[in-house]
Structure 1
Amino acid sequence: MSTVLDRRALNRATLHRQGLLEPWKCPPLEALRHLIGLQSQVPDPPYFSLWTRLAAFAHDELTQLIQDRLVVRTGMMRATLHLVTAEDFLTLRPLFQPVRERAQRSHFGKKTAHLDQAELLAEGRRLLAAQPMNNKKLKAALHERWPDTDAAALMYTVHYLLPLVQVPPGGLWRSYGSVPCTTDEAWLGRGVATESDPGPMILRYLAAYGPASVKDVQAWSGLTRLAEVVDRLRPRLRRFTDEQGVELFDVPDGPLPDAGTETPVRFLPEFDNLMVAFADRRRVISDEYRQITHTKNGLVAATVMVDGTVRGRWRIDRVKDTATLTVEPFETLTAGALEAVEAEGLRLLGFAAEESQTLKVVFG
């Protein structure tokens, strides 16, 4: 009979594996490798994600990794932008090609059905290998070749279906605007693998997010039909059930801290992968609060975790030489919790707005 793990036990296990119980004392590259990347729909959140997980972290450390081409910003899990190690991009990117093909068909399939797709992709690769291009330039170049086809459909088809990399200065701390892209080979000197086995990726996911169900792995990755792969891995996995009787899987050495382990206040940025890494997200956020923090078009708010789960959201506003962190609790917090939130909030402001002369934490 499988051991039952309640929601609090799952919470503590996942927080431990995410560096949110005790901060990690490791280089940012090692943290990124363990987490299998960080979602990066906008440039700044990965910096905050590393800051909240590492005992010591400076902006320049991640910026340098991107500039040195050891970390790349590219489309990966769930067909969304992530910062991942260059090695993970090269080896894991083929796994997500079906996800990206599905997204292309859903959004632009009808508008590009009349085209020779191989010809379009060959032209896109040629253009982007010659020089990095932002969306506007790529759209214009492709539309010149296919003037009777929707320019955005041409451009996004190339983005969805080719293994492209966004290049600096785009994607760096406080960078904005359209980011130039180039090809895998042009940026890294070699192309992505031609095929990949999802088994090792699933083991890595469990090590970083587990214990978890098959549906959890599929929600995090965007892939489907992984039950067969997990079945193949069964002899190598520990098995549990949650309170609803759902079967959970875990790597043999996955830590399971005591469910009563105290947890520090943590500030997570927009799009942090922890908020989207499970089909059942109640181990980190209630269904009620998820209605507030997650929008229908895929936006995920910056959140505050108290006692291991989301209890509010936050934002930073800058006016002249003053940076203000506004924390909006979703429930009444104890005086001790409010003091801890304020203390960690000031530490957050020191990282996010170090140039500001005045730092303030207010509760909205």
Structure 2
Amino acid sequence: MTLSDNDIRAVRARAQLLTAPAADVLTVVRSIAAIQAQSTPAARLAIRARSRGLTAADADASRAVTRTWLMRKTLHLVPMADLRWLNRLFGPRNAQAGQGRRKQLGLTDELCERALEKLQVLLPGKALTRQEILDGLAADGITLDSKSQAPAHLLAYAANRGLLCRGRDDGTEPTYVLLDEWATEDHDPAEPHTELAHRYLTAYGVATAEDFSAWSGLPLGLCRNAFAALDLVPAGMGFALPETDLSAPPCPPRLLGAFDTYLLGYRDRGLLLDPAEAKRVNSGGGMIAPTVLVDGRIAATWHTKRTAKQTKVVVEPFATLPRSAITGLESEVDDYGRFLGETAVLVS
């Protein structure tokens, strides 16, 4: 089917719930397959942009979703029911890929195995912070420099081995729990790569196997085979599931957080972001700035300035924004403030 660039953006935005917000955290996360979550505040904002009526506390309190290291070896928020099979899919691959870096940090295979044995003693029935885990390991003669990257890589390795996952945050500190105690469900698809490809296309609307590979971090050959196993229809520059409605309304202005999945889901981001402005969004080091979406395209970045009385949401547009976009963003900023329990105003 022939689709214009505007059509593709509209289909993608609706698939991402940016034109059809959900009512609960689980529906948001399940609908968009996974939320990148190495930044907890950013993950909260991804939920806000795709829901209505929820608060940051609602996002933090949900036991229907949880975080672990999955796609691209990065922390992602996924439905609890998907945690085990996704861990089986990505865990061994991630653990193998991280071996070289672990050795550089002094995390030998022998030390890691000792640490995993100790974690099975420390964690039952508990949710411990990183420092509490380091203290427990040190008491057994396993000492890691808390200021180095070694603790993070050890915890990621333990997660990839299927031992633990992230629990609720303890104030501003993340906690870690035994996966077997935290995950009470286990969906077990017969063809996990095909299942993931289906979830990906459900969440991203129109895409290619190359996009799927970039998002998942899986080898392109596996991704092409997964696409080939699905009944797909050509759509514009990519493919879509047969059930995808390829007519969608334009996306209203949206305030997206850092690392937003709408931008991270494709290898070629040119349809969503003018390449000339790419460095304003991705300045290097893997950082993706908070962005403003206008008609499905990234039209600005934004940041906040907080005072005792209010939060200023400062928008830095790539070009002059139309009045209709500013009106929509005023509504978005009001909702941003409501979500966080702050008084927020737009500055553009």
TM-score range, shorter chain: 0.7 to 0.9
**1:328 alignment partner in structure 2:** 316
**Residue 314 of structure 1 pairs with residue 308 of structure 2:** no
Q: CA deviation at 1:239?
A: 2.6
SS in 1 for 2:250: coil
**2:290 alignment partner in structure 1:** 302
Alpha-carbon distance between aligned partners in 2 of 1:334 and 1:106, rounded to the nearest angstrom? 50
Alpha-carbon distance between aligned partners in 1 of 2:319 and 2:275, rounded to the nearest angstrom? 14
After superposing the two structures, state which structure 1 stretch, 343-352 or 82-91, moved more. Answer: 343-352
CA change 1:127–1:25 in 2 (3 A) is: closer
- Percent identical among aligned pairs is 23
**1:162 alignment partner in structure 2:** 161
**2:345 alignment partner in structure 1:** 360
Select 1:61's aligned residue among 58, 61, 64: 58
Task: Point out where structure 2 has 5 or more consecutive residues left out of the alignment.
Answer: none
CA change 1:94–1:31 in 2 (3 A) is: same
**1:281 alignment partner in structure 2:** 269
> Aligned Cα RMSD in Å?
2.9
**Residue 74 of structure 1 pairs with residue 68 of structure 2:** yes
**2:199 alignment partner in structure 1:** 204
**1:47 alignment partner in structure 2:** 44
Count of residues paired in the alignment = 341
Alpha-carbon distance between aligned partners in 1 of 2:103 and 2:190, rounded to the nearest angstrom? 24
Matches within 5 A, 1:1-364: 3-21=1-19, 23-65=20-62, 69-110=63-104, 111-113=106-108, 115=110, 117-129=112-124, 131-143=126-138, 145=140, 152-153=149-150, 156-160=153-157, 161-163=160-162, 164-170=164-170, 175-176=171-172, 178-188=173-183, 197-224=192-219, 225-230=221-226, 232-234=228-230, 236-240=231-235, 242=237, 248-257=238-247, 261-354=249-342, 356=343, 359-363=344-348
SS in 2 for 1:115: helix
Matched letter for residue 74 of structure 1: T
Contact 2:312 2:347 in 1 (8 A): yes
SS in 2 for 1:282: coil
Alpha-carbon distance between aligned partners in 1 of 2:41 and 2:143, rounded to the nearest angstrom? 38
Relative to the length of structure 1, the TM-score reads: 0.82
Alpha-carbon distance between aligned partners in 2 of 1:333 and 1:149, rounded to the nearest angstrom? 50
Contact 1:317 1:325 in 2 (8 A): yes
SS in 2 for 1:313: strand
Contact 1:315 1:325 in 2 (8 A): yes
Task: Point out where structure 1 has 5 or more consecutive residues left out of the alignment.
Answer: 243-247
Alpha-carbon distance between aligned partners in 1 of 2:100 and 2:205, rounded to the nearest angstrom? 31
Alpha-carbon distance between aligned partners in 2 of 1:342 and 1:327, rounded to the nearest angstrom? 11
Matched letter for residue 104 of structure 1: G
* CA shift digits 1:297-333 (9 cap, x unpaired): 2221111011211111112222112221111112122
